[in-house]
Amino acid sequence: MTFNSLTFIAFFAIVWLLHNLPFSWRTKKINLLIASYVFYAAWNPPFILLLWASTFIDWKVAHWIDRTEEPRRRKQVMLLSVVFNLGMLGYFKYGGFLLQSFQALAAGVGIEYTPPAWDIVLPIGISFYTFVTMSYTLDVYLRRARPGKSFLDFALFVTYFPHLVAGPILRPTDLLPQFERESRATAQQVKWGLMLMTLGLFNKIVIADGLLAPVTDKVYGAKDALPMLDAWLGTLAFSGQIFCDFAGYTTTAIGASLVLGISLIDNFRYPYASIGFSDFWRRWHISLSTWLRDYLYVPLGGNRKGPGRTYVNLMLTMLLGGLWHGAAWTFVVWGGLHGLFLVGERLLKQAWGRLAVWDSWPGKVLLGALTYALVNITWVFFRAHDFPNAWRVLGAMLGFGPDGKPVLTTWLIVSVTVPIAALLATHAYMRERDLHVEIARWPVALVGLAWGAMLFLIAATQGGSSAFIYFQF
């Protein structure tokens, strides 16, 4: 079920009620676990079996690793978990992609091959929960953590509904300690949680779906050449749409969890105010970037084996990070571009990074604007459904190709420029600030007015329970 649905409102009300009845902590956790399975099964009940399998296997494997001293044996057992999780991910997510790629490769060398139809439904959130369970096993393997003592706590850690289908990608240490001892939400946590849920749903329903998605769809759905203005506006709209959609999901998840008295980590920190790509990845999908850092980049050698190897590791990490998002070469290119920009940034820093101008206000604005512009270039490949689509939009953005036919009406132009300007101003202002600190500085009446206005705009926009973009990953 999606957060922006009536079903979730009813579901959450029941969960909250049960969680506040005078049950034991263990009973409350069992309630949360059952609720989380209901949350997942409400989309497609049979796929809950995969979730159970992933939970059970990683629980067993982690304990097995912990009992095993012999290094080679430990590695073999760890690989069991990796092969199972990545195998499951590969089958459901990448099977069709691999077949198509093989078909294209065969055609390239003159072999005609028609693969069988691959009508496999992608289980929602599979990329997220496989990474969550793998991190548990890998942490135990790397002796960063001991396996948990309670299967109930572990199952709830994997399945806990706020983060289950679209993150944040949690580590055992993010949640298990909270499950070990009883916690009851304070009144302040409940109210702040509700405010965050409102903010998250406002981002999703009003900004992402209501204002920006129609612009993106119009531009990326155009069959003919586009003018530069329309191409840029469509891509800027997508930059805002994907942020408000994904950060909206995360903010709602954090808020819902806080209402239940459980704290989730941040996943975004105003990424469009980033100065450089390393800064961007400290602010965008933080839980994924730290996961890739700890379980891929560092094991590959990180930056400990010289500059050349560092660049290779960066590229590999980002290419695989791109592929994690979707089974298509466009996502690989997206990841590859981010890798190139990260490498380029390192080289430029070595050459000119010490110049005083970069610490000045105009210098920072210039670098921030450049970063945002380049991030938008990468979004083209993320949003386009294929390469011809991407080249058409990118060509128009960069002024190549024929001047096309405009597709955006005046209203659509307004509906992208106003929210994007507001979004960039907010990110710039909040770059070094925290929301809970900033909100506390506002007059209470202003907070209430803004909160009530967001609630009204959500209700007036109506929405349509459309799925969050990251559900497909």
Partner 1 sequence: MPSSISSSDGAREARIEPGQLGALPYVRPLPQMRAGAALLIAMAVFAIALAGWEAYWRDWGSEPAIRNSPGLWSIQRRRIDHGEGDRTVIIGSSRMLFDVQLPVWERVGGERPIQLAIEGTSPLPVMEQLADDPDFTGRLVIGVAPDLFFTGFTYVSDKYELYPKETPSERVAQRLSMNLLEPWLAYYDEDFALITVLKRQSWPTRPGVPAFMSVRKLAVSQADRGTHMWSKVEDDPEYARLCQRVWAQDFGEVPFESADVLQKKIAGEIDRAMKAAAKLRAKGVQMVFVRAPSDADYLAYEDRWFPRATTWDVLLEKTGVPGIHFEDHPAMQGLRLPEWSHLAAADAGKYTAALQPLVEQAFAAQRKGD
- Using an 8 Å Cβ cutoff, are 255 and 194 in contact? yes
Count of residues of this chain found to bind partner 1 when the rule CB under 8 A is applied: 104
- Of residues 197-236, which lie at the interface with partner 1 (CB under 8 A)? 198, 206, 210-211, 214
Per-residue binding string, partner 1, 299-328, x by CB under 8 A, is ---xxx--------xx--xx----------
* Residue 93 engages partner 1 in binding (rule: CB under 8 A): no
Rounded least distance, CB 107 to partner 1, Å: 30
* Residue 452 engages partner 1 in binding (rule: CB under 8 A): yes
Which among 209, 147, 150, 148 is positioned nearest to 30, based on CA atoms? 150
* Residue 45 engages partner 1 in binding (rule: CB under 8 A): yes
- Candidates 194, 320, 366, 428; binder of partner 1 (CB under 8 A) is 194
* Residue 292 engages partner 1 in binding (rule: CB under 8 A): yes
* Residue 297 engages partner 1 in binding (rule: CB under 8 A): yes
Identity of the residue, 57 or 265, whose beta carbon is nearer to partner 1 in the bound complex = 265
Distance CA 278, CA 280 (A): 5
Rounded least distance, CB 243 to partner 1, Å: 18
Rounded least distance, CB 109 to partner 1, Å: 35
- Of residues 247-276, which lie at the interface with partner 1 (CB under 8 A)? 254, 258, 263-265, 276
Which among 90, 102, 105, 99 is positioned nearest to 118, based on CA atoms? 99
Backbone angles phi, psi at 54, to 5 degrees: -60, -40
- Candidates 65, 145, 222, 323; binder of partner 1 (CB under 8 A) is 145
Identity of the residue, 317 or 389, whose beta carbon is nearer to partner 1 in the bound complex = 317
Distance CA 315, CA 302 (A): 11
Identity of the residue, 192 or 473, whose beta carbon is nearer to partner 1 in the bound complex = 192
Rounded least distance, CB 387 to partner 1, Å: 25
Identity of the residue, 168 or 395, whose beta carbon is nearer to partner 1 in the bound complex = 168
- Candidates 208, 286, 416, 423; binder of partner 1 (CB under 8 A) is 286
The piece of 39-47, 65-73, 81-89, 126-134 that touches partner 1 (CB under 8 A) is 39-47
- Candidates 85, 178, 267, 371; binder of partner 1 (CB under 8 A) is 178
- Of residues 392-421, which lie at the interface with partner 1 (CB under 8 A)? 405-411, 413-415
Rounded least distance, CB 47 to partner 1, Å: 11
Rounded least distance, CB 331 to partner 1, Å: 16
Rounded least distance, CB 113 to partner 1, Å: 30
Which among 91, 87, 109 is positioned nearest to 99, based on CA atoms? 91
Rounded least distance, CB 214 to partner 1, Å: 8
Per-residue tokens: 348: 């430029």
| Three-state DSSP string of the chain | CCCCCHHHHHHHHHHHHHHCCCCCHHHHHHHHHHHHHHHHHCCCHHHHHHHHHHHHHHHHHHHHHHHCCCHHHHHHHHHHHHHHHHHHHHHHHHHHHHHHHHHHHHHHCCCCCCCCCCCCCCCCCHHHHHHHHHHHHHHHHCCCCCCCCCHHHHHHHHHCHHHHCCCCCCCHHHHHHHHHCCCCCCHHHHHHHHHHHHHHHHHHHHHHHHHHHHHHHHHHCCCCCCCHHHHHHHHHHHHHHHHHHHHHHHHHHHHHHHHCCCCCCCCCCCHHHCCCHHHHHCCCCHHHHHHHHHHHHHHHCCCCCCHHHHHHHHHHHHHHHHHHHCCCHHHHHHHHHHHHHHHHHHHHHHHHCCCHHHHCHHHHHHHHHHHHHHHHHHHHHHHCCCHHHHHHHHHHHCCCCCCCCCCCCHHHHHHHHHHHHHHHHHHHHHCCCCHHHHHHHCCHHHHHHHHHHHHHHHHHHCCCCCCCHHHHC
Identity of the residue, 87 or 406, whose beta carbon is nearer to partner 1 in the bound complex = 406
Distance of alpha carbon 89 from the chain centroid: 17
Residue 224: is it exposed, middle or buried by C-beta count within 10 angstroms (0-12/13-18/19+)? exposed
- Candidates 72, 181, 223, 354; binder of partner 1 (CB under 8 A) is 181
Active site residue 285: no
- Of residues 64-83, which lie at the interface with partner 1 (CB under 8 A)? none
* Residue 444 engages partner 1 in binding (rule: CB under 8 A): yes
The piece of 48-56, 240-248, 421-429, 430-438 that touches partner 1 (CB under 8 A) is 430-438
Name the catalytic one among 19, 325, 338, 427: 325
Rounded least distance, CB 144 to partner 1, Å: 5
Identity of the residue, 113 or 304, whose beta carbon is nearer to partner 1 in the bound complex = 304
- Of residues 332-351, which lie at the interface with partner 1 (CB under 8 A)? 338, 342, 345-346, 349
The piece of 6-14, 241-249, 356-364, 379-387 that touches partner 1 (CB under 8 A) is 6-14
The piece of 77-85, 105-113, 389-397, 444-452 that touches partner 1 (CB under 8 A) is 444-452
Residues annotated catalytic, as ranges: 325
